[in-house]
Each structure stands twice: as C-alpha cells, then as structure tokens.
Structure 1
Amino acid sequence: MRDITREVFEAVLFDNDGTLTDSTAAVERAWQAWAAHHGVPLERLVGFHGVPSRGIVAAVVDDHIDVDLATADIDRRELEDLEGVLPLPGAAAALTALPGRAAVVTSASRELADLRLAAAGLVAPEAYVTADDITRGKPDPQPYLIAAERLGVDPARCLVVEDAPAGLRSGRAAGAATLAVTTTSTEQALRDLADLVVADLSAVVFEVVDGGVRVRVTD
C-alpha cells in the first residue's frame, strides 16, 4: 500500500457516478425498468457498478437478445432520468481545488456524464474520458491510461478516486495510487484495492503545491 498523504501527485483522476455525483436512485430506476422489459432477473445485475453499460448488457442478456439494441435501450433510459441526481459531499470543493490537474474518468457516455454533472451542479474539468473514448472499460486500465495521457502526466504519479471495485482495479492496473470512497460499496469490499478508504470526498482536502497535488485527511 502507498501512503498517499506523503506523495505529490501530478493529477487526480475522478470517477463520476458514486464518487462525484449521487445518481444511485436514477441508475436503479433505469436498470430495473430495463431488466423488466428484457426479461432479465435483477440478481444478474449485481456486481457491475462501474462497468460500461454495453459490458453489463453483454454479460446478462440471453442469447436471443440483440446486445446493440438492448444497450441503446438502457442508454436512452438513463439519459431520460436525472431525477434526484445530487453532488456528493466534498465533490465541488475537490474539483475547484484542482484547476488543470484533474480529469473525470467515467464508464458513462459523454452525454450522460455531462447531464448528470450538470444536474448535480458540478463543473467538470476540461480533461474527460468516457465510454465514447475507450475500447475496453473498467476494470481494464485503458480509461485511466488515456486520462493520464490527455493530461500529459505519468499514470504512476496519478491518484485515482473511485467508489467501485472495478474502478479501483482499473486504477491499480494503470499504475496509479487509489483513494476509495464508501458511498456505494462497503469498506470491506474496497480496502484491499485502495491505498486509503474514506467515507466521501469531504474527508480529504486536495492542495496544489509546487510540482503537483498533495492530499490531506481532514480531522
């Protein structure tokens, strides 16, 4: 494990849903309606948080269902439901503290990510990686490697902030340090994949210093 409070990072790479925004209710409504429409038992959907929608669909639908059409259906349902999407504690302050040294790395499409961030009243950093930009989703390292490349930084000197095991595995595989928030998963599910686990982003402060970013745990 790395002591992230003693490192200086070149950039901080944030997941969105469950890390910056609380979209749980909207996500659950959309997927429950989708599952009922396609005859997919809800128990098949367990354990996919942080995985792109196409990856989930391909893993859970029966062979007779067209994956492209079923993916388009869930994507439409999610775009249409933004009710109750809110910022998570500390999210706004974290983004504001890191001009030019942050990126959003999400398994959602760019359109959906933009809508959810706007609904939560958050201003996203310029650097952005979405499902539209990748060929392999979390837990593959590709999303975070692309984010580091876009910021022009070394992935090993980045801090990945995530709420889901798939995202933490993605960050670890990219060589980054990892900070987990227990907003959607238990500490037990995250602690072996994270260098530090906190309740949410209000538990840490990001400070831009010479050479990068330091992380401080609040008292």
Structure 2
Amino acid sequence: MDFLCQAIIFDVDGVLINSDPVADRHWRLWADRHGVDYEAIARIHHGRPTVDTIRQVAPHLNVVEEARIKESAEADDTDGLVTYAGAQELLAQLPRDRWGVATSGTRRTVSIRFPYLGLPEPSVMVTANDVQRGKPAPDPYLLAAERLGFAPADCLVIEDAPAGVEAAAAASARVIAVATTNRAEDLARADAIAPALAAIHISVKPNGLWVHISPTA
C-alpha cells in the first residue's frame, strides 16, 4: 500500500524506540509501592499519558505528583532501551522540516533518549507537556501538524497503540499502525497496518513524501 503525504508525525515509544523494558520496570515498581494491580495498568497504559493512567487505576492519589515522580525516574533510566530496526535510516532520509514526533511521554524523556540512541533531533516535538488533553484526544497530532505547517489531512501518522491511532484519526490525519506492541486486530481503525517499522519505506519526491508498506519487514 502506498501513501502520498507532505509530512510524517511519529509516535515515539513502540514506533521508533522500544522502551518496553524500562516502562514495565517502572510501572511494576510504582504498582508495588501503591498496592495497585500491575495487570490493570498494563491493559491501558500504552500510548496514554502517565497522569491519565494513574487517574484511572488510583484516582485517590495525587495523580499529578505521582506522574511527575514516575516520569522523572523513568526518563533517567536508559537500561534496555533500543531503537526499532530501520528507525535511524528512516529518519535520516527525511527532510528535517517534514517530520516530527507526538508522544505521550515528557519532553525531558525524549530529550534524553534521542541523543542516547543516536536518533536525530526532531524539528517538531509535541509531548505530554505541550497539551492539556493527551491521546486518544486529537490534540497532540493537531499541534504537531500546526507546528510543521501542514493541514492534518496532509500528514501521515505512524503509531503503535490504539489510543494513538484513535488520536490521529480524530485529527483527520491518515495513520499507519505498526504491530509492535499491540495486535493487528486492535489497530483496525488505522488506514494500514505494517508488520514492523522496517516494512515502511519512504521516498522524497517533488510533490511530497511517498510512503510504501512492504508485506514483510
């Protein structure tokens, strides 16, 4: 399947960076500390801001402060972080003003992880710090498209989580879901599903960015 777009907006965790070992480690620590069922967290946290997850599983806590503490500790933890195959090559071939990221993570987390993993700095970075409503609300992708200077409909989003796919669709952007952290059937609202990031190929043309999905990575 092929797409023509003017800009690409990437989610970060689960798309460019495999941060599952770090996220799982810190969610388990947090759950143990507060007596919360980790499995309840695991079912909902992918693609959502930390504060929203805590609000759902432990609304009696000071959710803003708890999210701040957890996010700070997690941002400093790089043990087990890796990029997904093809991430560096994909970003390297894109014009810097034609791509950005929209993540439910914090600005500090992205600012630490990208240079640590050798990824180029995004020209546009929308994080949980930049919006009042995180995914699945469309706000992160609407703001990223605005900062890139294109209408959301002219942008292509690459996501891995149902909440992110829903956010992109609500922003009127087209979306490719990579089946890295979720089952393909849970990503059915996406315009297309790629088996992995390495299956996505981009060509820079005079009329925009051509994106092709191979059936295998």
TM bucket, shorter chain: over 0.9
1:106 lines up with 2:103 in the alignment: yes
Amino acid at match of 1:164: A
1:152 to 141, 149, 158: 149
1:130-159 Cα offsets, whole Å, 9 max, x none, are 111101000000000000000110101111
Alpha-carbon distance in structure 1 between the residues aligned to 2:131 and 2:206: 32
Match for 1:185: what amino acid?
N
Q: Distance in 2 between the 1:120 and 1:185 partners?
A: 23
Residue 61 in structure 1 maps to residue 58 in structure 2? yes
Who is 1:117 aligned against? 114
Give me the whole-angstrom Cα distance separating, in 2, the residues matched to 1:52 and 1:14. Answer: 16
Residue 28 of structure 2 corresponds to 32
Aligned to 2:72: 76
1:38: Cα distance to partner?
A: 1.4
Distance 2:6 2:59 in 1: 44
The aligned residue for residue 203 of structure 1 is: 199
Task: Give runs of aligned pairs for residues 131-210 of structure 1, distance below 5 A.
Answer: 131-190=128-187, 192-210=188-206
Decide whether the 8 Å contact of 1:171 with 1:177 is kept in 2.
Answer: yes
Provide Cα deviations, 1:10-57, integer angstroms capped at 9, x if missing partner. Answer: 100000001000110001001100111111111220222010111111
Q: Give the percent of matched residue pairs that are identical in Structure 1 and Structure 2.
A: 38
Out of 49, 53, 76, which is 1:52 matched to?
49
2:13 to 9, 17, 22: 17
Task: Give the TM-score normalised by structure 2.
Answer: 0.94
Distance 2:214 2:166 in 1: 26
The one-letter amino acid of 2:166's match is R
Report if aligned partners of 1:86, 1:120 keep a CA contact under 8 Å in 2: yes
- Does structure 2 retain, via aligned residues, the 8 Å contact 1:20–1:91? yes
Q: CA deviation at 1:62?
A: 4.5
CA distance in 2: counterparts of 1:96 and 1:200, whole angstroms: 18
SS of 2:5's partner is: coil
Alignment RMSD (CA, Å)? 1.3
SS in 2 for 1:132: coil
**Which residues in structure 2 correspond to 1:89-104 (within 5 Å)?**
89-99=85-95, 100-104=97-101
Distance 1:41 1:135 in 2: 27
Runs of 5+ consecutive residues of structure 2 not aligned to the other structure? none
Letter in 1 for 2:47: G
- Alpha-carbon deviations, 1:77-133, whole Å to 9, x = none? 212311011110111111112112101111111100121222322113211101111
- Look up the equivalent residue of 2:110 and give its one-letter code: A
Q: Is the 8 A contact 1:30 1:81 kept in 2?
A: no
Q: Is the 8 A contact 2:194 2:214 kept in 1?
A: no
For the residues of structure 2 that align with 1:155 and 1:90, how far apart are their CA atoms? 25
TM-score by length of 1: 0.93
Change in CA separation of 1:67 and 1:217 when aligned onto 2, cut-off 3 Å: closer
1:181 alignment partner AA: V
Structure 1, unaligned runs of 5 or more:
none
